[in-house]
Amino acid sequence: MSLFEYKGSEAVELVSDALDLMLYSYHGLDDALGSAYQENGFSLATLVGAMWGTEDAEGLLNGESEQAARDKIEEKGWTVLTADDLGYEEAQVDHNGTFQGETFEFKDAQADVLAKYDEEGNITQVALAFRGTTGTLDNIISDSIGDVIDYLEFFQDEPHYVEEAFGGLLSALKDFMIAHGLEGNDLIVTGHSLGGGAVANMAERSNAWLDGFFVDANYLAFASHYTPEDGASVLDSGAELLSFDLENDPVPSVISSDGLDVTGNDTDYGYDTSNIVIFNDWYDTILYQDGGGILNLPSWSAHLPFNYSTAFNVISASSFYGEMTRDSLVVISGLSDQKRDDTWVEDLPIFLDPTGHYGQSAYILGSEKDDLLRGNSGDDGLEGFAGNDHLRGEDGNDRLLGGAGDDILEGGDGDDVLHDGQGADFLIGGDGADTFCFVDDGQLDVIDDFDVGEDVIDLSAAGVTSFAELEIDASILGGWVSISYGDDVLDVDTAWLFTRNLSESDFIFA
């Protein structure tokens, strides 16, 4: 099963839509927090504010950010639907038009409804986005208490959170969709954290009310804190659930086979992604060595929604995506600007609560900025993307993709494949039979340790078709060979005192 497979098909676009809708449900708060973190890292004061709606976080949420959030979702083709649009006269809405919970117990629950229209003005798709914690920030104390009450519902054997909080809204939504010729599978249901739990709860209960109209809806959660039934992706209700969860997010990580485990890493379930790590500022510190449970305050930094946006965008853009499965170990750079210059992004051993995957093959993914990426003993795939990156494969048969920028690529031990990408790059194969791959980018690239007769140079991506297209200038002493092809020059150290001649067998051509 591919990483984002859903209902038997590749679902990157569907997950992307769900992500956009989930982010909108926070009405600009998450954008502000993400920008603050990227520039300055996390202070505990900001983290507490993000989790519980203190004054620091409230200051980030204003009319300007809310309008920016609406502008962004409208650019994606979505239109926010009002109570009047749905014909739901009894609805309770806040100043953003967000639907509020319909019972006193769940009055602080929140959800947004949106739709996409075609060029003729016909509705083609509808979305229901459950908001997670932080409330409207209209009343910090009551909203926070309300969030706790909402969470307590999920400790019941059969939680009825969604149908009790939004029974009237869902009935109106069903009538609205039928009136516009839509069926249940035309609905995307999404949410983050508490909202992710609501997605799972609605999927689990979808055959129990409204004649099962929503059984075939697309249930795509983020950071879900609730496991329906036995954790299968297809539930007894007939609904299918996919939750994009980060391993070091303490909220989904509390879920274990024995109920709740407030101290450690989660169980792998069929419906979720359990081996994706956002390598942020806290992950490589001693503060995370207990596994980052919910009692570990700094670990909550991985829970904020912008981390899911970062992780999804990097994974879906990766050259390795096509080979990733639901069980793949993926480590993603989520460092702030303050730490990325001196922190290696890698799979780390968590001594007090082992992850179970340390030393296994992994995908280590960077960002558009300068990254330090390091593999371990497995056969790893490292990708730097843009920026001036430094990639080290270490042991194993690794694949290193530099991407754009002036990169340093070190294969280490094993038979490694090193791709230079755009930019002036410096490649070191290390021990083993290595393959050095180059594009035609008009830059001077360097191979520092080419072993003639064992290593090979792959020029197929540069469009070179034969040995005759190369201009080779070899020094007498020092081992260096200069190879010209197209607008490129490649300097190669043949690792001998006296230069060793290169032949056609040392190359791969298009």
Residues marked active site are found at 193
Task: Quote the CA–CA distance of 88 and 100 in Å, as a whole number.
Answer: 13
Question: In 3D, which of 133, 131, 106 has the Cα closest to residue 49?
Answer: 133
Give the distance from CA 41 to its chain's centroid: 19
Whole-angstrom distance, CA of residue 103 vs CA of residue 187: 24
Q: Is 219 helix (H, G, I), strand (E, B) or coil?
A: strand
267, 303 contact by CB (below 8 A): no
Distance from the Cα of residue 510 to its chain's centroid: 34
- Strands in 372-374's sheet, in edge-to-edge order, are 372-374, 390-392, 408-410, 426-428, 444-447, 488-493, 480-485, 471-474
Nearest to 192 by CA among 322, 344, 302: 302
Residue linked to tokens 């890698």: 346
Could you give the CA distance from residue 305 to residue 22 in angstroms, rounded to a whole number? Answer: 8
- Between β-strands 5-6 and 276-279, what pairing exists: parallel, antiparallel or unpaired? unpaired
Q: In this structure, are residues 459 and 438 in contact, taking their beta carbons and an 8 Å threshold?
A: yes
